[in-house]
Each structure stands twice: as structure tokens, then as C-alpha cells.
Structure 1
């Protein structure tokens, strides 16, 4: 099994968020998972221009690193999203990436995967940002097993103190992959999301026959 962490801190290897996500991956690795970390700040990601070209065939007109990132996400069994809090929300790096996921969201291309969210902040906004990252996971069809937020107060050692909880979250991801994970509240959200996106799939059934057939096979279109 494979667990992929994607974080949006511009500090890359110096990032507290990366360190926290790393603890999650270490917990998952100790439980038997293969893990990978992606630093979005090292990737070339062109902002979405809302041209809708991807609707025709699932291919973006921009030539950058996003297709490779999507391939790595599809190859993973679980996805960890991480971000520090910048002005009460996620960083620009991860938000630009999220905006490029519209087609994957519309067609629910990551349904069946599990995930979690990790956030660091100086003082405030951590829980709200965990909730936002969880919302994006759900938009992608991913069920979250939880999240962790650390308010550092600019104090050294604050993230280290959260290591046991982060490792436990990684272990929980592995258990969810192996044994399944159910959350009635999130399942209801996923059902509502698919109902909303169904019209897009049906409208493009002649252009995206494989995706349409997958929705029929999954029982999302009858």
C-alpha cells in the first residue's frame, strides 16, 4: 500500500508542516506502508484559467507538473494534504494546485481512497484550515480519517510534541486501507457531491465515454 503526502509550504524541507506530515508518513511506514512526500513549492504549477478545455478529454492545456502529480495521487491508496496557515487559510502554492483539480473532482477520480489533513499555524486558524483540507479531500471523493493542527506559538519543539499523535494518524491511515473506514457524515457528503457533479458527467457522456461508463459501473448513474 502507498501513502502520498502533498504539502504546500514554500519552505519545503525547512517547513514545520512538512515535518508534521513526515511524522504521519513515519507512522504509516512503521505500520507497513510505502510513503512519499511531495513539496508543491518545487513543482511547476500553472494557475487554472477556467478555459474548460479539460472537460473535453480530461487533458489540461497547460504543460506543467500537474499531470505527473495526478498520476502519483492515483497510484496512492491514501492522500495526506498539508499546509501552514497563511492569512487564515492555506498557502497560495496549494490553493493553485487545488484549482487545477476541477476535472478530477467533477469525475470523482479518487473515490475509494482515504486521507487526512495536517496543518501548522502560529496561533489561530488551524482547525478551520484542517476543515478546508478535509473538504477538498471529500470533493475528490476521498474519505478523511482525521486531521491534526499544531499551533506553535513560535515555540521550538511544538511540532515535535505532536509527533505521537501524527504517527498515530499515519497508523490509522494504514488501518483504514487494510480494513476499510466508514464515516456516515462524510459518506452523505460524498453522495451529495456526486449528485451535483452527475449532470457534468451526463452532459459529456459522448466525449468522456470511459468516465461515463465508470460512473454507471459504480452505480452513480442509473
Structure 2
């Protein structure tokens, strides 16, 4: 079982977000999962240009790491998104990746994978960002199992409290259990299926402008409309 993590922190592996992510991955590894962390440095996945080529051709024309990253995620079983809370949203590094996934979202190309979200901040208020990240996962076809967040107040001596550590490790174990059991919670399944119908209608309506995505739905998503 392979779990890919995308770390959208400019502090890389030295930051608090990476520290909290490590506990999540430790929980997953304790259940036998293989994990890998990919750091978004700001120049490895560039901002979306809005050129529409991915909708027409299925690949982005920009010469960076996005297509390779997309293939790694599609080939894995799980995806963990990790970001600091920057002005009530994800970091610019992670947002660039999410924006570049516009073609992935239209085709829900990560369908069947599982995921989770990790957020850290100075002052808290992270729950809406965790929800936003998990909603993004749903739109790619991924089944989120939850999220974990922590503020500086939960690092009284420079490290996360035992309670936060255990919550993060439990999330990692939960992710592996969900993958192993192929379970899909009914509420997540409803949201995912609703979005699936929306994307089917959209790609059908735009089939002349977005030929790749229209053909992808016909070939990969069990739809002959």
C-alpha cells in the first residue's frame, strides 16, 4: 500500500506542518503502509495559466513536475495534503497544485483513492481549511477519511502535545484501514456522486471544446452519454 503526501510549506521538512504530517505518516506506517513526502517548493509546480490545453489534450504544457506528480498520485492508494494556514487558506504552493488539477477535477481522475488533510497555524481556526482541502479531494474522486490540525498553543515546548500526536497517528491508521476495507462513508459517497453527475454534464456540454475530457469519461468512468 502506497501513500503519497504533498507538503505545501515553504519551510519544507523543518516546519510545523511537516512535523504534524510525520505523526500522520507514522500512524500509517505502523499499519504497514509505504509513504513518500513530496515538497512543493514554489517552482516545482507553477501556477495555472488558464490556457485550457489540459482539457483538450489531457496534459499541461508547462515544463515542471506537475504531470509526474499527477501520475504518482494516480498510482498510489492514498493522498495526504499538508499545508500551513496562511491568511485563512492553504499556502500558495499548495494552491498552485490544486489549481493545476482543473483537468483532474473535470475527469475525477483520482477516483477510488483515499485521502486526508493536515493543517497547522499560529492562532487556530483551521477547521474550515481542513474542510476545504477534503472537499478538493472529493472533487478529484478521492475519498477523504478526515483531517488533523494544530496551532502553536498545542506546541507548549516546541513539540506537539501527546494528544495532538495521537490524533495525528490515529488519522494515519484510519487512512490505512479505510484503504484496506475499501469503505466509502454514505455522506462522502453522496457528495462524490453528486459531483460526478455535475462533471458528466459539464464535459458533455463542452465536448467540442474539451475533447480529451469527454473521451476520458466515455472510456474510464463507465459512461456512454
What are the Cα deviations for residues 199-221 of structure 1, in whole angstroms up to 9, with x where unaligned? 34334389333442112x2xx55
Map 1:123-134 → 2, pairs under 5 A? 123-134=123-134
Give yes or no for the alignment of 1:163 onto 2:179: no
CA contact 2:5–2:80 (8 Å) conserved in 1: yes
Measured against aligned partners, the alpha-carbon deviations of 1:93-149 in whole angstroms (never above 9, x if no partner) come to 100111000000100100111111111111122111111111111111111111111
Distance 1:201 1:134 in 2: 23
Alignment check: 8 A CA contact 1:150 1:158 kept: no
Task: Decide whether aligned partners of structure 1 residues 120 and 47 sit closer, same or farther in structure 2, where only a CA change above 3 A counts.
Answer: same
2:74 aligned with 1:74: yes
Aligned equivalent of 1:95: 95
Structure-2 separation of matches of 1:142 and 1:43: 26
Q: Which secondary structure state, in structure 2, belongs to the residue aligned with residue 156 of structure 1?
A: coil
Among residues 190, 193, 198, which one is paired with 2:192 in the alignment?
190
Q: 1:103 to 1:179 in 2, by over 3 A?
A: same
| 1:173 is the counterpart of 2:175 | yes
Could you tell me whether the CA contact under 8 Å between 1:122 and 1:151 is conserved in 2?
Answer: yes
TM-score relative to the length of structure 1:
0.92
Report the equivalent of 2:16: 16
Q: Secondary structure at the match of 1:41?
A: coil
- Are 2:213 and 1:212 equivalent residues in the alignment? no
- 2:55 maps to 55
42-51 or 176-185, which moves further after superposition? 42-51
Normalising by structure 2, we get a TM-score of 0.91
Q: Which runs of 5+ in 2 are unaligned?
A: none
Which runs of at least 4 in structure 1 moved beyond 6 Å after TM superposition? none
Residue deviations 1:33-90 (CA, integer Å, cap 9, x gap): 1110111117512211111011111111111110111011111101101111011111
Describe the shift of the 1:43–1:156 C-alpha distance in structure 2 as closer, same or farther (beyond 3 A): farther
Structure 1: gaps (5+ residues): none
CA-based RMSD of the aligned residues comes to 1.8
Separation of aligned partners in 1, 2:46 and 2:83: 19
- Quick check: 1:81–1:118 contact (8 Å CA) kept in 2? yes
